[in-house]
Amino acid sequence: MRGLRAFVLSLLATLVLSGCMRASAPVATAQPRGDLDSLAYGRSSSGAAAYAAVPAAVQYDTAYRLDAGDRLRVVVYGQEGLTNTYAIDAGGAITMPLIGSVAARGRTTSGLAAEIGAKLRGGYIREPSVAVEIEAYRPFFILGEVAAPGQYPYVPNMSVETAVAIAGGFSPRAKRDRVTLTHAGEQGATRMVVPLGTSVSPGDTVLVGERWF
């Protein structure tokens, strides 16, 4: 009887030990795959919850047309001597090492990047990778019956009302309900009387008139 009990206890111990060994085997190999997914794709293999934690990229107006006064950040990957900040001059161009003047007026940032890449490919860099983004927009102008008329840095998504506030507000004799907005587009300059909620673009001129009573 004592021998049978010892045999049963020995058998139970063997089963417990084998179960522990099977349960612990995968632990050492589970983590590295998730880490690689996170590094390569910004998310883990666990799904959407991890992906949602990745910050969104900054969005730019890809249809915006460049002009004199815009300041651009041009990045040529792997070429520190070419990567820099460039201002569009009065002639509507930027000047870069190696390739000299590049026309920017009227182009989008992606169009300008393609043009720079094409020029670099013509005898300087075999397969250039170029990115262009707007570092600062060209200024806007506000004139007439405001506290401090003049030229000011453009603020994205601004309205006529915002422009007036930047210039210190209306003067006592300002015509406050409508102002004149001059916008220079591809077809030339347009001038119109607009309400205060109208959007202002870089390079626009806002004129606040004087009331007669």
pLDDT-based confidence at residue 5 (cuts at 50, 70, 90): low
In which band, very low, low, confident or very high, does the pLDDT at 123 lie, cut at 50, 70 and 90? confident
- The whole-number average pLDDT for the span 71-79 is 95
**Whole-number Å distance between alpha carbons of 49 and 52:** 5
| Rounded distance between C-alpha atoms, residue 74 and residue 175, angstroms | 43
Q: What's the whole-number mean pLDDT along residues 189-205?
A: 93
pTM of the model: 0.66
Enclosing H/E stretch for 14: helix 2-24
The answer to whether the CB of 139 falls within 8 A of the CB of 67 is no
CATH of domain 71-136: 3.30.1950.10
* Domain residue limits, the chain: 71-136, 140-208
d(CA 124, CA 126): 7
Strand partners, 210: 174
Give the mean model confidence (pLDDT) for residues 1-26. 45
CATH code for the domain defined by 140-208 = 3.10.560.10
DSSP 8: H
Is it the case that residue 198 has pLDDT exceeding 90?
Answer: yes
Specify the pLDDT at position 192: 94
